[in-house]
């Protein structure tokens, strides 16, 4: 088991390395340096800047320097905000995105799993129809449309909830719904179909043949089996929500990592783009790894080789 | 002898998008205490649907349209859900065809058997129940029960899993055990061992067994009496001796005909009869076997024959057995 996870960890590091490499190459393949495009700098100034940020060094050297920095947790300086580092952005943005994301995850799990269970247990009945209708809206309507609708109804018409900022708990409600809406819908559908599939399995018939009452059949025998595929999609979902959605942060003026990322893209702040990408990738891989561990804890059939 | 279970004119259908599938169309039989009753018939003849109707374990789309299933003076079709749960696993238990998928993959096998006991006897002590399970395991010849208790189903072979299922089914010493093709998925040696065990356990506990199978060899070896099903109906009912010595129905004869000596070669399976079973969404109004029957006459496709008594406990559903049936070379029963 330890060997299995060590191997997974190794593969993860390789994946991470490749992601860094590809991001690095793409960033440097974009025509023009970070300082050529928008501002009119004199040639001397640009040369000085290039020298300052070691942009004159050969690419492999730049890459290994960057990698070395990463190993120490150093994402490098921002090219556009003098005196700021990418670490500053992450340190400022991530806690905001992380808190919003964390609350959203709790909301997503607490809403989607019971919704999916209800829909599956009441398969074909009105409860199922309601859940599926909500879930269909959630996966088909883009989040900015949902956000606009929510803001229109709850902020402008009713004046009940703020339309931007996270200053009070009320401020979280609309962003959380907007951010988690898709995941709630998606996971509820997953949970429903997975549970329905499990409920048709032979071992469920065995459980019923033992004389177990339906709640016991569902919660003791069906649910754990049905959760396995749901957990698989939960990993990437968690990483996604924690690192912040650009759209939601932009709409609700949340000073999170997503907004920084969008800004840095429009300003060609290469190190920030790379830094956030690498940070995001690390997070995603870590989540997938954690899911893997959970997977092994819940499913004894997984072989460690 | 007092029947322990009596089924009267059972009709079970599935409501599907293609219409009503009339899987069981009026089945009657009974089983006595300590008896092993075989149910044979080709795939789709309604054996599983009949047996699952007893414990009401069918899919939600199934409807029991008519009939009664009498057990301990009660009609199981009408008893409350709660009462039915009290019967399942305690008084009537079931073993299913596919041992590979009948156990929960995430729960250790020992716990799955223990659950069967604890569900019906919640006041028993956990350690006592564990001891009981270990004993059951050695009963059904699971080697090293103590070690196996904690194993998960995927660590077991098909035969071992079926033994776990048998241990589970017998855990509460039920009055009736329904075994739906319990050995079909297993190889012949394992099959023999399991049949042997079932017979032993039947003797020891006095459990009545309904044994569903495709395999007439198994019937010969294990059962006291047999009913032959086709197209959702019972075609013939007879003792083991009668069914092999004087089969009273062309379908039964078709099942037997290509088997040289059934009592000696016990691994012989049903040989296919040319043609295929009827479509149960639109069952024939006459004898369901008519399209495939070598002796079919005009009337066979038009009317459903009634049961004719051929002797003590031997009845059959065929026009050729009617007292007024013509005695000629086209009637195998009157030659
Ligand atoms: N859930 C279901 N929905 C619709 N039709 C069904 C369902 N289950 C069974 N049937 C139909 O009922 C009929 C009888 O099926 P049943 O399973 O009782 O056959 P069987 O005699 O047990 O066959 P086998 O030997 O293959 O197990 C078949 O025509 C089958 O297609
Ligand atoms: S009733 Fe007719 S078709 Fe049916 S088995 Fe007898 S002879 Fe054949
Ligand atoms: Mg069957």
For position A261, what pLDDT does the model report? 83
Q: How far, in Å, CA of B226 to CA of B117, rounded?
A: 31
Instruction: Kindly state whether residues B259 and B136 are assigned to the same domain.
Output: no
* B127-137 pLDDT tens trace: 999 999 999 99
Question: What is the rounded radius of gyration, in angstroms, for the C-alpha atoms of chain A?
Answer: 24
Are residues B55 and B92 in contact, defined by beta-carbon separation less than 8 angstroms? Answer: yes
Domain assignment present for B123: yes
Instruction: Kindly state whether residues B71 and B118 are assigned to the same domain.
Output: no
* A104-137 pLDDT tens trace: 999 999 999 999 999 999 998 999 999 999 999 8
Q: How far, in Å, CA of B208 to CA of B5, rounded?
A: 9
Which of B88, B103, B119 has the CB atom closest to A203's CB atom? Answer: B103
A164: tokens are 């931007």
Give Cβ neighbours of residue B219 (< 8 Å, ≥ 6 apart): B38, B40, B211, B213, B226, B240, B243
Distance B309 CA to ligand 2 centre (A): 16
ipTM: 0.90
B249: containing domain: 3-87+184-194+208-321
Domain-wise residue ranges, chain A: 96-258
* Residue B295, phi then psi, degrees to nearest 5: -110, 5
**Which residues have C-beta atoms less than 6 Å from ligand 1?**
B 14, 16, 21, 23, 41, 43-49, 59, 61, 214, 280
Q: How many residues comprise chain A?
A: 305
Report which ligand 1 atom has the smallest distance to the Cα of B47: 21
Nearest-CA residue for atom 18 of ligand 1? B46
Place of tokens 């959970």: A294
pTM equals 0.84
| Overall domain count for chain B | 2
Instruction: Kindly state whether residues B83 and B188 are assigned to the same domain.
Output: yes
- Residues A202, B88: C-beta atoms closer than 8 Å: no
Q: Does the structure show a pLDDT above 90 at A290?
A: no
Q: Which CATH number fits domain A96-258: 3.40.50.720, 3.30.365.10, 1.10.10.10, 1.10.3720.10?
A: 1.10.3720.10
Which of B85, B102, B106 has the CB atom closest to A224's CB atom? Answer: B106
Instruction: Kindly state whether residues B112 and B226 are assigned to the same domain.
Output: no
**Cβ contacts of B88 on chain A, cutoff 8 Å:** 208-211
Instruction: Kindly state whether residues B243 and B96 are assigned to the same domain.
Output: no
* B263-303 pLDDT tens trace: 444 444 445 678 888 899 999 999 999 999 999 999 999 99
For position B47, what pLDDT does the model report? 95
């Amino acid at each position: 088991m330890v060997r299995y996870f060590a191997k997974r960890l190794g593969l993860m590091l390789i994946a991470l390395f490749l992601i860094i490499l590809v991001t690095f190459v793409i960033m440097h393949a974009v025509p023009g340096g970070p300082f050529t495009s928008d501002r009119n700098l004199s040639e001397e100034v640009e040369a000085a800047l290039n020298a300052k940020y070691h942009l004159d060094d050969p690419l492999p050297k730049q890459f290994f320097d960057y990698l070395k920095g990463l190993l120490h947790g150093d994402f490098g300086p921002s090219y556009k905000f003098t005196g700021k580092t990418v670490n500053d952005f992450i340190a400022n943005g991530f806690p905001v995105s992380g808190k919003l994301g964390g609350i959203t995850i709790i909301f997503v799990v607490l809403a989607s799993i019971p919704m999916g269970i209800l829909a599956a247990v009441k398969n074909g009945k009105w409860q199922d129809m309601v859940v599926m209708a909500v879930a269909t809206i959630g996966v088909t309507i883009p989040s900015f449309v949902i956000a606009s609708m929510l803001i229109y109804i709850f902020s402008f018409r009713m004046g009940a909830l703020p339309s931007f900022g996270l200053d009070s708990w009320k401020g979280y409600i609309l962003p959380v719904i907007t951010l988690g809406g898709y995941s709630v819908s998606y996971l509820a559908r997953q949970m429903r179909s997975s549970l329905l599939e499990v409920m048709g399995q032979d071992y469920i018939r065995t459980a019923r043949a033992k004389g177990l009452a339906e709640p016991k059949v569902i919660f003791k025998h069906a649910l754990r089996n049905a959760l396995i595929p749901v957990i698989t999609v939960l990993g990437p979902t968690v990483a996604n929500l924690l690192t912040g959605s650009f759209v939601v942060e932009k709409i609700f003026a949340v000073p999170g990592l997503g907004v920084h990322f969008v800004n840095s893209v429009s300003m060609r702040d290469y190190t920030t783009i790379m830094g956030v990408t690498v940070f995001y990738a690390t997070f995603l891989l870590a989540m997938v790894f954690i899911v893997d561990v959970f997977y092994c804890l819940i499913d004894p059939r997984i072989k460690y080789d | 002898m007092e029947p322990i279970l009596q089924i009267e004119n059972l009709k079970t259908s599935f409501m599907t998008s293609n219409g009503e599938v009339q899987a069981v169309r009026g089945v009657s039989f009974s089983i006595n205490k300590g008896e092993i009753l075989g149910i044979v018939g080709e795939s789709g003849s309604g054996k599983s649907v009949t047996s699952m109707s007893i414990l009401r374990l069918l899919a939600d789309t199934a409807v029991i349209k008519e009939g009664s299933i009498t057990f301990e003076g009660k009609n199981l079709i009408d008893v409350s859900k709660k009462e039915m749960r009290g019967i399942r696993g305690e008084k009537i238990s079931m073993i299913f065809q596919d041992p590979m998928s009948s156990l929960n993959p995430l729960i250790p096998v020992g716990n799955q058997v223990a659950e069967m006991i604890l569900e019906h006897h919640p006041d028993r002590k956990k350690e006592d129940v564990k001891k009981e399970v270990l004993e059951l395991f050695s009963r059904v010849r699971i080697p090293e029960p103590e070690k196996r208790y904690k194993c998960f189903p995927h660590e077991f072979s098909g035969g071992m899993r079926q033994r776990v299922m048998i241990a589970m089914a017998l855990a509460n010493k039920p009055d009736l055990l329904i075994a739906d093709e319990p050995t079909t998925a297993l190889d012949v040696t394992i099959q023999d061992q399991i049949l042997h065990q079932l017979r032993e356990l039947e003797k020891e506990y006095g459990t009545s067994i309904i044994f569903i199978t495709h395999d007439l060899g198994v019937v010969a070896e294990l059962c006291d009496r047999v009913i032959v099903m086709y197209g959702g109906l019972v075609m013939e009912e007879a003792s083991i001796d009668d069914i092999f010595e004087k089969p009273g129905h062309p379908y039964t004869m078709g099942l037997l005909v290509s088997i040289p000596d059934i009592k000696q070669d016990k691994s012989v399976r049903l040989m296919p009869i040319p043609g295929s079973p009827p479509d149960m969404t639109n069952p024939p109004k006459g004898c369901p076997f008519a399209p495939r029957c070598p002796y079919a006459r005009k009337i066979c496709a038009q009317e459903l024959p009634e049961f004719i008594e051929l002797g003590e406990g031997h009845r059959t559903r065929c026009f050729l057995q009617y007292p007024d049936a013509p005695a000629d070379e086209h009637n195998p029963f009157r030659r």
